[in-house]
Chains A and B, each alone.
Chain A
C-alpha cells in the first residue's frame, strides 16, 4: 500500500480537470443520478465503482454529453471542464466529444480497415495536413494502444477481423488518435481475457501521463491497481470519493465498506 499512497500524493497535487456540482439525471421520471459533486484531477486515473444500476455509466456519459443522444434523458446541474460549463448553449457537443474521448464496454470497431478506424477522428476533425502526418498519428495511436506490432503489416484489413482484445485496443487507439484531454472508459475490460486486461491496464497507466482517465469497473482489484482516486456510487448517490488507498483500506461510509468486502452488490 505504501507505493499507492505515493501515487495518491502526486495525484492530489494536480489541479482539477473536471468539476461537477449538483448533477441530477432523469430518464423520464426515473431519477438516476442524485445531486452528485465530483472533482476529477488532471493526469490522474479516477475509478467509478458501485453495484449494477447505480448510475456509473450514466454519470460517465454526462461528461461528454453522450446522454444527448437519448431523447428521454435530462441532465441538470453544472459540469465544467477547465472552468468552462459544458452544458452551456455555446458549447458544441460535437467539439466537446473530440476533447473528451470514450471507450465502450463492448469493442465497437467500425466496418472499415484498421487504418481507417484510427484515422476516423483525425479526418473528421481535420487534425492533419497531409497523408504523412496522418500516417504518423495512426502509428503513434496504435503504439500507445500496444497494438502496433500486431497489426503493422495489415493496416488495410478490416478492424472487425481482429480478436476481441485487439478490437478493444483498436478502439482505444481510435479514441486517443484525436488527442483528447480526458478519456472515459466504461468497463473497457469486461470482454477481455486476463492477458488483454493486463495490457489495457498497463496502457491506462501510460495514458495517465497525458490524459486524465475516468474508468468504470466492476473489479475492485482493477480499481485498486490502476486508479489514484475512487468514487463509490450507490443507488444514484455518490457515497464516497477519495484517494484509492483510503477508500479500499479505510472507507468512511459503512456502505462503501460493505460493498468492498462483498456484502452489497
Chain B
C-alpha cells in the first residue's frame, strides 16, 4: 500500500478519535462542559495525539530501517564471483535494486504474471525484452545470482510493506482505543497534553544533538582509520606537507595550521579595530536616523556569499597588493598571498564584529552613561573608561566568534591565499590553510582508503576541535558578562 494512503488512514483514525474523545468526555460530564477537568478540546487532542504520533513514529523508523535489513539479507546471496572486475558490492546491490524495480513495473503493466516471473531464468530472452520495456537497461550479462537476489528483494519488500501497513494501523487503533478508554470528566487531559508537548520538544532537540554526535562520530572514526595508516607522530610533528598519490607522502599539519592561523590573524587585525570603531560610532555617536540607515547597510556585507569575496580577492585585491606593495618592496611576485586572503576575510568579518559589538554596547545600561556624564566626563572619556570596560567581556566573546569563523572560512582562502603549503613569515607569500587542503585532498577520483584522502578527516577533526574550543571560550566569556547586569 502507498505510504501516503497509509498516513491518510492514520490521520483518519486520529480524527475519528478526536471526535469520539470529545463526545465521550462530554457525555461523561452529563453534557455540561463546566464539569470537565480540562477544556473540552484537550480530550479530543489527547486521543488524536495517542492515535497518530506513535503510529507515525513507527512508520518513520520502519522506513528508515527496512532497506538496511533487506539489503543485508539479500546481499548475502551474492557471491564474490558475481562482482565484476573493477566493480564493487555496492554497485551490484544497486543493480539488484534497479532490477527489482523493473520487475515491479513489468508486473504492474500486466506484461507478465507473478507465476511466470518466478519461472524466468537469467538467460531468457523474454526477460531482456520485459526489462527494456520497463525502462531498465541491463549493463553486462545478468548473472543468475543477481536475478535471484532481485526476486528475493522484491518479495521481501512486499512482505515488509504488508507487515508495515498492518502494524501501523494496529498501533494507531490501539493508541486511539486506550486513550479513549481513559477519557472521563476527571481525566487531566490538559496535563497529559502538556507532557506530550514537552516530549515533542525534547525529541526535536534530540535530533539536533544526535546529528552533531553523528558527525563527530564519523569524523572521529575516519580519523582513527587515518592514524592506523599514517603515524600520528608525523602528522603532528612533521613540518612538511607533500602528499603523493602514489604513496610515501609527508602529511605534517604544521604548514597548514600556520597558514590558517596567519590568515585568520591578518583578518582579525583588520576586522576587529574597524568593526569595533563602527560599533562605537553607531551606538554612541550616530543619530537615530543615520543608525537606521547605516546598520542594515553594513550588515549587507555579511550577506555577500563568500565566493564573491573570493573573486574580489582574486581579481582586485591580489593584483593590487602585488603591484603596489609586494613587488616594489621586493617581497614576492604572487598575487595570491596571506595578505590578500587576510584583508578580504577581514572585510567579510567587519559586519560580524560590528553588529555583535553594537548589540553588546547597546546592552550597557544607560544609567552608566548618565553616571559618567553627570560627573563631567566627555563622550569619548565615557566610551573609553566606562562603556568599553563594561562591554569588554562581550566584545571578547564577539572576537572569539569571529576568529572561529575566520578559521573555518574556505572560499576566500582557496581563491586568495593559494595552495602552496609553506611555513613562512612573509605575508606576501602564497600559503594555504587546513580548509583548502581538505577540499583539494577530496576532489578528483577518490576512494577513502589511502592516507592521502583520509587525512582530510583528521584535518577536519583538528579544525572542529579548534573552533569548538574558541566557541566554548566565547560562550563562557559572554555568560560571565551577562551575570554582571542581572
Is A148 an interface residue, CB under 8 A from the partner? Answer: no
Inter-chain contacts of A109 with B (CB < 8 A): 371
Inter-chain contacts of B378 with A (CB < 8 A): 94
A-B pairs, top 10 by smallest CB distance, nearest first, are A98-B376, A102-B374, A97-B376, A108-B367, A108-B371, A121-B375, A111-B390, A94-B376, A110-B386, A124-B377
The distance in angstroms between the C-alpha atoms of A108 and B485, with both chains bound, is 11
Is B79 an interface residue, CB under 8 A from the partner? Answer: no
Is B205 an interface residue, CB under 8 A from the partner? Answer: no
Interface residues of A in 74-103 (CB under 8 A from B): 94-98, 101-102
Which of B370, B385, B386 contacts A69 (CB under 8 A)? B370
- Nearest A residue to B377, CB-CB: A124
The distance in angstroms between the C-alpha atoms of A178 and B377, with both chains bound, is 12
Which of A64, A95, A98, A110 contacts B372 (CB under 8 A)? A110
Is B373 an interface residue, CB under 8 A from the partner? Answer: yes
Is A120 an interface residue, CB under 8 A from the partner? Answer: yes
Structural contact, A178 and B367, CB atoms closer than 8 A:
no
Which of B376, B377, B381, B390 contacts A96 (CB under 8 A)? B376
Interface residues of B in 358-407 (CB under 8 A from A): 365, 367-378, 381, 385-386, 389-390
Structural contact, A175 and B375, CB atoms closer than 8 A:
yes
Inter-chain contacts of B373 with A (CB < 8 A): 66, 69, 97
18 more A-B residue pairs beyond the given contacts A121-B376, A178-B375, with a C-beta to C-beta distance below 8 A: A94-B377, A95-B376, A97-B374, A98-B376, A101-B374, A108-B367, A108-B368, A108-B370, A110-B368, A110-B385, A110-B389, A111-B386, A111-B390, A120-B375, A124-B377, A124-B385, A160-B484, A178-B376
Is A174 an interface residue, CB under 8 A from the partner? Answer: yes
Inter-chain contacts of A110 with B (CB < 8 A): 368, 371-372, 385-386, 389-390
The distance in angstroms between the C-alpha atoms of A111 and B378, with both chains bound, is 18
Is B446 an interface residue, CB under 8 A from the partner? Answer: no
Q: What secondary structure prevails in chain A residues at the interface with B?
A: helix
Inter-chain contacts of B381 with A (CB < 8 A): 124
**Interface set of A (CB-CB < 8 Å, partner B):** 64, 66, 69, 71, 94-98, 101-102, 104, 106, 108-112, 120-121, 124-125, 160, 171, 174-175, 178
Inter-chain contacts of A121 with B (CB < 8 A): 375-376
What distance in Å separates the Cβ of B52 from its nearest Cβ neighbour in chain A? 53
The distance in angstroms between the C-alpha atoms of A111 and B388, with both chains bound, is 10
Which of A69, A101, A106 contacts B367 (CB under 8 A)? A106
Is B443 an interface residue, CB under 8 A from the partner? Answer: no
Is B287 an interface residue, CB under 8 A from the partner? Answer: yes
- Nearest B residue to A98, CB-CB: B376
8 interchain pairs (CB within 8 A)? A71-B287, A108-B367, A110-B368, A110-B386, A111-B386, A112-B389, A124-B375, A175-B375
Structural contact, A104 and B371, CB atoms closer than 8 A:
yes
The distance in angstroms between the C-alpha atoms of A238 and B372, with both chains bound, is 29
Inter-chain contacts of A160 with B (CB < 8 A): 484
The distance in angstroms between the C-alpha atoms of A106 and B367, with both chains bound, is 8
Which of B367, B376, B484 contacts A104 (CB under 8 A)? B367
What distance in Å separates the Cβ of B268 from its nearest Cβ neighbour in chain A? 25
Structural contact, B484 and A111, CB atoms closer than 8 A:
yes
The distance in angstroms between the C-alpha atoms of A175 and B365, with both chains bound, is 19
The distance in angstroms between the C-alpha atoms of A55 and B389, with both chains bound, is 33
Inter-chain contacts of A104 with B (CB < 8 A): 367, 370-371, 374
The distance in angstroms between the C-alpha atoms of A111 and B367, with both chains bound, is 12
What distance in Å separates the Cβ of B286 from its nearest Cβ neighbour in chain A? 12
Inter-chain contacts of B287 with A (CB < 8 A): 71
The distance in angstroms between the C-alpha atoms of A125 and B381, with both chains bound, is 11
Residue with the greatest number of chain A CB neighbours at <10 A, chosen from B371, B374, B377: B374
The distance in angstroms between the C-alpha atoms of A160 and B385, with both chains bound, is 15
The distance in angstroms between the C-alpha atoms of A174 and B372, with both chains bound, is 10
What distance in Å separates the Cβ of A69 from its nearest Cβ neighbour in chain B? 6
Inter-chain contacts of A120 with B (CB < 8 A): 372, 375, 377, 385
- Nearest B residue to A177, CB-CB: B375
The distance in angstroms between the C-alpha atoms of A69 and B235, with both chains bound, is 60
Inter-chain contacts of B372 with A (CB < 8 A): 110, 120
What distance in Å separates the Cβ of A245 from its nearest Cβ neighbour in chain B? 31
- Nearest B residue to A121, CB-CB: B375
What distance in Å separates the Cβ of B143 from its nearest Cβ neighbour in chain A? 77
Structural contact, A125 and B376, CB atoms closer than 8 A:
yes
The distance in angstroms between the C-alpha atoms of A71 and B291, with both chains bound, is 14
The distance in angstroms between the C-alpha atoms of A167 and B206, with both chains bound, is 45
Inter-chain contacts of B376 with A (CB < 8 A): 94-98, 121, 124-125, 178
Inter-chain contacts of B386 with A (CB < 8 A): 110-111
Which of B368, B375, B377 contacts A101 (CB under 8 A)? B375
Inter-chain contacts of B374 with A (CB < 8 A): 64, 66, 97, 101-102, 104, 175
Inter-chain contacts of B385 with A (CB < 8 A): 110, 120, 124
What distance in Å separates the Cβ of B248 from its nearest Cβ neighbour in chain A? 59
Inter-chain contacts of B389 with A (CB < 8 A): 110-112
Which of B365, B370, B377, B390 contacts A66 (CB under 8 A)? B370
Inter-chain contacts of A125 with B (CB < 8 A): 376
Inter-chain contacts of A95 with B (CB < 8 A): 376
The distance in angstroms between the C-alpha atoms of A94 and B379, with both chains bound, is 9
The distance in angstroms between the C-alpha atoms of A120 and B372, with both chains bound, is 9
- Nearest B residue to A117, CB-CB: B371
Interface residues of B in 334-378 (CB under 8 A from A): 365, 367-378
What distance in Å separates the Cβ of B429 from its nearest Cβ neighbour in chain A? 43
Which of B288, B365, B367, B375 contacts A174 (CB under 8 A)? B375
What distance in Å separates the Cβ of A73 from its nearest Cβ neighbour in chain B? 14
- Nearest B residue to A68, CB-CB: B373
Inter-chain contacts of A71 with B (CB < 8 A): 287-288
The distance in angstroms between the C-alpha atoms of A124 and B374, with both chains bound, is 12
The distance in angstroms between the C-alpha atoms of A109 and B389, with both chains bound, is 13
The distance in angstroms between the C-alpha atoms of A171 and B375, with both chains bound, is 10
Inter-chain contacts of B370 with A (CB < 8 A): 66, 69, 102, 104, 108
What distance in Å separates the Cβ of A169 from its nearest Cβ neighbour in chain B? 14
Inter-chain contacts of A97 with B (CB < 8 A): 373-376
What distance in Å separates the Cβ of A221 from its nearest Cβ neighbour in chain B? 26
